[in-house]
Amino acid sequence: MTRSFSEVDGELNARGFTRMVFDLSRIEGLLDSLGSPQRAYPAIHLTGTNGKTSTARMIDSLLRAHGLRTGRYTSPHLQSITERISIEGEPISEAKFVEVYEEVQPLAEFLDARNDAPLTYFDMTTAMAFAAFADAPVDVAVVEVGLGGADDSTNVLQALTTVITPIGLDHTEWLGDTIEEIAWAKAGIVHKGSTLICALQPEEAMRPILERCAEVGATLAREGRDFGVVHRELAVGGQVLTLQGLSGVYEGIFLPLHGEHQAQNAAIALAAVEAFLGAGSERALNAESVRDGFAGTTSPGRLERVRNSPPILLDAAHNAHGMQATVRALTEEFAFAGLVAVVAALADKDVEGMLELLEPITESIVVTRNSSPRAMSAAQLGVIAEELYGGDRVRVVPSLPDAIDAAVELAESDNAVPGTIGILITGSVVTVADARGLLKR
C-alpha cells in the first residue's frame, strides 16, 4: 500500500533528524543495493562552512542556462523536505518523493536489520536524491555536503569537480576545534584526478587543502589567483558584477542577491561550471548564457525581503562567520534609518559571537525561540543579549509569532517615519523557515 507524504516524512524523522553516524560503508551498501545510481551522471560536489546552498543554486542555474538537465541536492530545507531534491531547478513533487522513498525504504530496512544502528535521516535523503537523479535522468548533479566532507554521506560521489566555499568555525563538536582541523575534514571531498575550485581561505585552512590536492593529484584553482570578482556595484534588487573566470572576463552580470559574499559565491560558481564544462584559456563559456544563468538565480532565506511595510528581511546566518557577511551587506546595501533584529538560535551555536556582530547596526533586539528541539530558550538568549545590548534595548518574547509582532510594533513606533525602520529575522535556518511559513502564506 502506498504511503502518504506525511507518513513518509514521519518515518524519515523517526530516524532522528540530527542523528550523526560517520560511516560511509552504510550508505555504500544501500547504494550498491540500488544499483549505484550515483554513477549514472557526473557531479559537482560542494563543501565549506558558509555559502554552499547559494553557490549550489547558482551552479544549477548556470548549468541549465547552458542547456543541461540538472539535479540539485541541498540541506537543510526551509519548509518542505522535498526542497532538498530538485530537478531542473524545482523541488520534486510530494508524489515523486513518496515513490522514490518506497524504492529505497525496503532495502534500507534490510540493511538496518544487519547493522548496530539504522541508516540516518541524511543517509536516506542522500540515497533518495541519487536515485531520483538517475530516474530523471539528469545530465549533472549539484550536491552539497551535509556536514564536513570526508565522512559525509555524499562523499560516495568521488566527483571530478569539487568546490570548497569559505571555511570558518562551525560544528566544532564533530569537525574539530580549529580551522585547520575543519579544513582537513572538508578537503576529504577532493579525490584522484579531480579539479578543486577553492574560495579565498584563512591561512590555516590552506595547508590541509594543498596537501590533499598534492596527495590525490587534484588540480587546484584558487580565488584571487585563478578567478574572482573584478568589480561589483549595487543595483535595484541586487548587484551588477564583472567576474574573472578560468577562461576570461565576464561583464554585465546581474545577480539578484545582496552582499559581497554573494558576489564571491558567484565567482566560485562560475569557475566550477567552467571547470565542469571544460572551459579554459582557449574556450570561454557563452557570455549571454552566463548572464541568463545568474539573472535566474534565487536563494530563499538569504537576505530575502518578505514584507515591505515595514520592510522585513529573512537571513539564515547561523554562525559568526555567516553573520559577519550579513552585517556587511546590510550596512552597505540597505538604507534603513534603523534596524530591529528578531533572533532565535540553536543552543550549540556561537550565539554571543552573532549578537556581538549585530549589536552595532541594530536599534533593538527581540529574542525568541524557534521550533527546533535544539533551540536555545528565549530566556537564556535574553541573558546573553542584555549583557551586550543593555536591558532597555532587549525584549524577550518566547513565541516567534509574538516576537515578530513585537518587532513590527517597535519598527512602527510613534517616533519612526513609516517604512524607514527595517526588521531582520535571523540566527538559524530553522528560524528563517519558521518565519517564512508565517509571513509568506
Per-residue model confidence as pLDDT tens digits over 40-79: 999 999 999 989 999 999 999 999 999 999 999 999 999 9
270 shares its domain with 323: no
Measured over the CA atoms of residue 82, residue 84, residue 86 and residue 91, the dihedral's sign is positive
Q: How many domains does the chain have?
A: 2
Confidence of residue 309 (pLDDT cuts 50, 70, 90): confident
Please report the pLDDT score of residue 51 as a whole number: 92
28 shares its domain with 54: yes
Please report the pLDDT score of residue 21 as a whole number: 76
Confidence of residue 117 (pLDDT cuts 50, 70, 90): confident
355 shares its domain with 231: no
Instruction: Tell me which of 275, 295, 315 is where a domain ends.
Output: 295
Please report the pLDDT score of residue 143 as a whole number: 98
Residue 393 domain boundaries: 302-439
107 shares its domain with 203: yes
Decide: pTM greater than 0.75.
yes
Q: Is the pLDDT of residue 335 over 90?
A: no
Residue 79 CA, distance from chain mean position: 14
Confidence of residue 16 (pLDDT cuts 50, 70, 90): confident
321 shares its domain with 424: yes
126 shares its domain with 258: yes
Mean model confidence pLDDT for the chain: 93
Residue 230 CA, distance from chain mean position: 24
312 shares its domain with 191: no
CATH number of residue 78's parent domain = 3.40.1190.10
- The 10s digit of each residue's pLDDT in 159-173 is 999 999 999 876 656
356 shares its domain with 412: yes
Instruction: Tell me which of 241, 266, 295 is where a domain ends.
Output: 295
265 shares its domain with 324: no
237 shares its domain with 334: no
CATH number of residue 434's parent domain = 3.90.190.20
62 shares its domain with 197: yes
pLDDT (average), residues 12-20: 84
180 shares its domain with 311: no
Instruction: Tell me which of 268, 295, 322 is where a domain ends.
Output: 295
